[in-house]
């Protein structure tokens, strides 16, 4: 209920100690819920609550603003975060290949996702404490397992956001957290398959790795979070997920939102569309989750784009990020990718039922789906089809052929598109796909 009925509450400061609040799915000035006067010192409650660095408190109180974002520096900057920002300074820290909030509508705000009406100004400023430890709770839930984010630059942003959230929790909340970051080079062989790419943004040369240990509290917690590059269907990249217990994946932004065809496809991918590749990816997810106890497969929703076009998708004529057209159930923003996913899921999956009776919906429905796929389906871009067509990966092909052809299992849905329906949190007016680092945003998602 917190998620389904929720919305953002934003509290901003005008530089004179006056707080104004806004809510809804848009930016901080949209759908005002009324102004609440506040002395600037009242924001210290959030600082005392150990949510913000001193520089961030100044921004929220109207004392200065984050530095102007340099888009070229963000895109071409070093692969590792600026040492001065490794703690996850909000709005400016590296996420994927981007850093900074630079849209025209951007302004610092104390933001919290909440369900129901919140009229008390002091409570509004305390709300985000729920999300402050989102990455910490994620590590505790993983309980020693390895979670792999398998996807494009959006998934790389989630990967970096998890690391920032853990460092913030250590620095601001006094938690004893060790974060070890590394890159593990991959080695393509006849048993992994050879990459479709030899260079460029789609080429996977290493798996990003963050190993975490949390000491203290009721128990010691460990986990490993990894990022495996997967810009569209690239079956050989999945060979480097064998050590993953939990896989989180998505297809979308690198396919045409109208035709479903893969964008910038090479000659080996001319037949690839969302209609062939989503079922193939679901088949891999089901096979992966069935391989050993404790494995899980999670499908991430596509995040909203906010380009200044009729449907929010990128067009060359776009000049800024704007609220996207409202469509779908309850007026929530649903773009073409998520609508297409729903149709494909409907063919292969049903909402999970409560254990025992086979009829009552699970309390997690519709976020928990029971899906069925064929391991050797010749009609999709399946792993098995890739193994046969390419002549590679004999042991992997024989393993699939030695198992029952039909696999049924559970796919969890990570539907967070509504959380990200905030145009002012994009990187800049030219990039209305990627988001900057807002701790409450990613904390709430985790």
Summarised one tens digit per residue, pLDDT across range 34-86 is 223 333 445 555 444 578 888 888 888 777 778 766 655 555 544 444 444 45
Return mean pLDDT, the chain. 81
SS3 state of residue 204 = coil
pTM of structure: 0.88
The Cβ of residue 47 has, within 10 Å, a number of other Cβ atoms equal to 17
SS3 content of the chain, % helix, strand, coil (to 5): 30, 25, 45
Over the stretch 142-188, which tens digit does the pLDDT of each residue have? 999 999 999 999 999 999 999 999 999 999 888 899 999 999 999 99
Q: Which residues contact 221 (CB under 8 A, 6 or more apart)?
A: 139, 140, 142, 143, 144, 212, 213, 214
- Residue 248 sits at φ, ψ, to 5 deg, of -120, 125
In the predicted model, residues of the chain with pLDDT beneath 70 are 1-2, 14-49, 68-86, 116-132, 217-218, 325-334, 352-363
> Which has the closest alpha carbon to 251: 236, 267, 230?
230
């Amino acid at each position: 209920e917190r998620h389904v009925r929720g919305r953002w509450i934003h509290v901003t400061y005008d530089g004179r100690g006056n707080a104004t609040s806004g809510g809804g799915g848009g930016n901080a000035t949209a759908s005002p819920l009324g102004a609440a006067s506040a002395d600037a010192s009242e924001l210290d409650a959030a600082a005392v609550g150990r949510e913000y660095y001193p520089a961030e408190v100044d921004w929220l109180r109207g004392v200065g603003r984050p530095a102007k974002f340099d888009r070229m520096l963000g895109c071409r900057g070093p692969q590792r975060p600026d040492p001065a920002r490794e703690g996850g300074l909000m709005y400016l820290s590296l996420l994927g290949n981007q850093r900074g909030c630079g849209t025209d509508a951007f302004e610092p705000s104390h933001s919290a996702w909440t369900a129901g009406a919140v009229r008390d100004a002091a409570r509004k400023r305390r709300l985000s404490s729920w999300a402050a430890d989102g990455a910490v709770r994620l590590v505790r839930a993983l309980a020693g397992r390895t979670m792999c984010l398998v996807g494009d630059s959006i998934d790389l942003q989630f990967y970096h956001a998890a690391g920032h959230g853990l460092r913030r929790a250590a620095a601001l909340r006094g938690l004893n957290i060790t974060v070890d970051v590394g890159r593990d080079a991959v080695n393509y062989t006849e048993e992994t398959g050879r990459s479709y790419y030899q260079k460029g943004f789609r080429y996977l040369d290493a798996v990003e790795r963050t190993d975490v240990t949390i000491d203290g509290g009721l128990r010691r917690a460990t986990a490993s979070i990894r990022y495996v590059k997967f810009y569209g269907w690239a079956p050989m990249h999945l060979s480097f997920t064998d050590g993953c217990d939990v896989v989180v994946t998505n297809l979308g932004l690198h396919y045409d939102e109208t035709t479903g065809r893969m964008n910038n496809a090479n000659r080996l991918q001319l037949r690839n569309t969302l209609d062939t590749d989503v079922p193939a990816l679901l088949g891999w997810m089901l096979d992966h989750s069935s391989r050993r106890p404790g494995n899980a497969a999670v499908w991430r929703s596509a995040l909203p784009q906010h380009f200044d076009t009729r449907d929010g998708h990128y067009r060359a004529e776009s000049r800024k990020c704007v609220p996207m057209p409202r469509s779908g159930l309850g007026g929530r923003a649903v773009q073409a990718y998520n609508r297409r996913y729903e149709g494909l899921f409907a063919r292969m999956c049903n909402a999970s039922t409560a254990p025992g009776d086979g009829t009552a919906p699970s309390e997690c429905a519709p976020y928990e789906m029971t899906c069925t796929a064929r391991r050797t389906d010749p009609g999709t871009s399946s792993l098995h089809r890739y193994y046969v067509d390419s002549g590679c990966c004999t042991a992997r092909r024989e393993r699939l052929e030695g198992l029952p052809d039909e696999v049924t299992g559970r796919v969890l849905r990570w539907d967070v598109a509504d959380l990200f329906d905030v145009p002012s949190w994009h990187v800049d007016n030219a990039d209305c796909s990627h988001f900057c680092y807002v701790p409450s945003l990613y904390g709430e998602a985790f």
